[in-house]
Structure 1
Amino acid sequence: MNNQNKALWEKGDFTQIAVTMRESGQQLVEGLGIAAGIDVLDLGCGDGTTAIPAAALGANVLGVDIASNLVAAGNARAAAAGMANLRFQEGDASGLADIADDSFDLVLSVFGAMFAPRPMDVAREMVRVTRPGGRIVMGNWIPGDPTLVAQILKISAAYTPPPPEGFISPVTWGIEGNVHERFGGAGIAPDRISCTPETYVFRHAGPPSELLDRFRMFYGPTMNAFAAAQANGREEELQAELAALFAAQNQGGPDRTVIPATFLKVVVHTD
């Protein structure tokens, strides 16, 4: 599996971030009109922030993630919840080799497939495995957006070495023109694609400095940024910049963290 992101997402423990995303994940899924018995693929699923709510609505859900530790965590959560209609397996969103054409009524990817390499391949694969008359729903962070995650990624990039030649930034999935180009390349007509900005909220029962600590210790991009900053004697500078960001974005007061982040919701209808 030739995906350079595997090491990135196995580097930390994204479950420590995912617990702050559960409520918004459930709200997003509950707004999709999922009917019992439909087949759902959750790409870049992590440990099930959207897969578990979809299964709770009665869908048959397969979660696919590049990181083996997150797949294991997802299967453990599904087993603990007694969900026989949910399973997780390792896989690459840019090459779903073991998934047949027209397998799913809904392909869902919330802040997941956007991080996979080869975005044109990602779009083609999502379309390929979706049944005619089905839907693809993505949540993608928006480049340059002033809210939390886009700014974390922007700040982190300023402290890390330049990416390899040919690298396509994940946040380019947050640009509507790119979305149309990528799904258009997979045969989807422009009028079958919609893009709308929506809000996702991170919640933590403690001050924003604690949430920043989780990102520093467990989120691959910020872990890499701190390692590079430490090597260059800029660790305190990076810490101060991120601390100011988290404090400024927090709407929960001094002892509770509630930080909204804007994302692009993409809905694609397959014919």
Structure 2
Amino acid sequence: MNANKALWEKGDFTKIAQVMRQSGTALVATLGITKDLSILDLGCGDGTTALPEAALGATVLGVDIAGNLVAAGNERAKAAGLSNCSFQEGDAAALVDLKDKTFDLVVSIFGAMFAPRPFDVAKEMVRVTKPGGRIVMGNWIPGDPTLVAQILKISSAYTPPPPEGFISPMLWGVPDNVTERFVQADVPKENINCSKDSFTFNAPYAPSQLLNNFKNYYGPTMNAFEAAEKNGKAAELQQELEALFNSQNKSGDNNTTSITATFLRVTVTR
């Protein structure tokens, strides 16, 4: 079993994605999408950005390594009546089913950053983008004090060290690394732009419930709790994450959640 596939099929990311819909739609609204565009949404999950892209009239293909999320995305597109949006399984580092220069826009929001072999991921995204087209990535930033970077940092402290040669997905949140990867994929340096942006998790329930969803349905957090249980440190991990979620909630109400996380927005012009 592909370890990355196993990680993202382990839980049920749709439970997390439900609190990301509003910001996903808002982000898509900034991409200048028109009806004539062909879009690849890479590491698409169940379509948090793919469905809003299709709702604007573009033809959208969502590709994700997790079969359960692909199935969920196709169900959501069908329920929304979006015949211009479809999902299929695929690996961001080897898009073997996709031809060169196929898409006007490649979007990957917190998706392709988690695929191994980042230089291959950059090459594949560039390969399938038409000349004059764009690539837009959203990547979490290492060491950032906001929610997701901290969840991943805390979780990593409780899990066994990664295998030799492992490249942290968080390096996609470092502009110099992003530039190096796309330059090696033959993109001129001046065509690569990085800026900070924000994404808000909005939930009609308490931060403790959102943490519970991460604990039960988000692969990296699930792995951290499994490892912590074995080491007798599950209560410690729970405490750390509870403090994080509660301190970052800006809803003004303990029964609802609104947590904003900072990410690196990458725009590459082909």
TM-score category (smaller protein): over 0.9
Contact 1:3–1:117, Cα closer than 8 Å, also in 2:
no
Mapped pair 1:259 → 2:224: no
Structure 2 CA distance for aligned equivalents of residues 201 and 217 of structure 1: 20
Structure 2 counterpart SS, 1:246: helix
Residue 255 of structure 1, CA deviation: 1.2
Number of the residue aligned with 1:157: 156
Deviations 1:183-217 (A, max 9, x none): 00000111101000000000110110010000000
- In structure 1, what residue type is equivalent to 2:174? I
In 2, Cα distance between equivalents of 1:248 and 1:190: 39
Hey, what's the Cα distance between the residues in 2 that align with 1:3 and 1:137?
26
Q: Could you say if the C-alpha distance between residues 267 and 3 of structure 1 is closer, same or farther in structure 2, counting changes exceeding 3 Å?
A: farther
Could you say what secondary structure the match of 1:240 adopts?
helix
Give 5+ residue unaligned stretches, structure 1: none
Q: How does 1:46-125 map to 2 (within 5 A)?
A: 46-125=45-124
1:3 and 1:101 map into 2 onto residues whose CA distance is 25
Q: CA deviation at 1:37?
A: 2.1
5 Å matches for 1:221-260? 221-252=220-251, 253-260=253-260
Does residue 43 of structure 2 align to residue 44 of structure 1? Answer: yes
Q: What's the CA shift string for 1:18-48, capped at 9, x where partnerless?
A: 0000000000001100011210000000000
The CA deviation at 1:4 is: 1.9
Q: Which amino acid aligns with 1:61?
A: V
Aligned to 2:185: 186
Of all paired residues, the percent bearing the same amino acid is 65
**C-alpha separation in 2, matches of 1:247 and 1:81:** 34
Partner of 1:9: 8
Letter in 2 for 1:255: N
Q: Distance in 1 between matches of 2:171 and 2:248?
A: 23
- The separation in 1 between residues aligned to 2:61 and 2:222, in whole angstroms, is 29
Q: For structure 2, which runs of at least 5 residues remain unmatched after alignment?
A: none
Partner of 2:210: 211
Aligned to 1:31: 30
Q: What amino acid does structure 1 have at the position aligned with 2:180?
A: E
Retained in 2: the 8 A contact 1:40–1:104?
Answer: yes
- TM-score, structure 2 as length reference: 0.99
- Structure 1 CA distance for aligned equivalents of residues 184 and 31 of structure 2: 25
CA distance in 1, matches of 2:205, 2:90: 34
Moved over 6 A (4+): none
**One-letter amino acid of the counterpart of residue 268, structure 1:** V
Q: Aligned-pair distance for 1:3?
A: 3.9
What residue is the counterpart of 1:137 in the other structure?
136
* SS at 1:36 equivalent: coil
1:67 offset after TM fit, Å? 0.2
Q: Contact (CA 8 Å) 1:54, 1:61: kept in 2 or not? A: yes
Give TM-score, length-normalised by structure 1. Answer: 0.99
| C-alpha distance in 2 between matches for 1:4 and 1:119 | 15
1:261 counterpart letter in structure 2: A
Q: Secondary structure at the match of 2:78?
A: helix
CA apart distance, 1:66 = 0.2
CA RMSD of aligned residues (A): 0.6
Aligned partners of 1:172 and 1:79: how far apart in 2?
A: 36
Instruction: Read off the aligned partner of 1:213 and give its amino acid letter.
Output: N
Partners in 2 of 1:105 and 1:88 — Cα distance?
Answer: 17
How many pairs were matched up? 269
The 2-side partners of 1:126 and 1:265 are apart by: 15
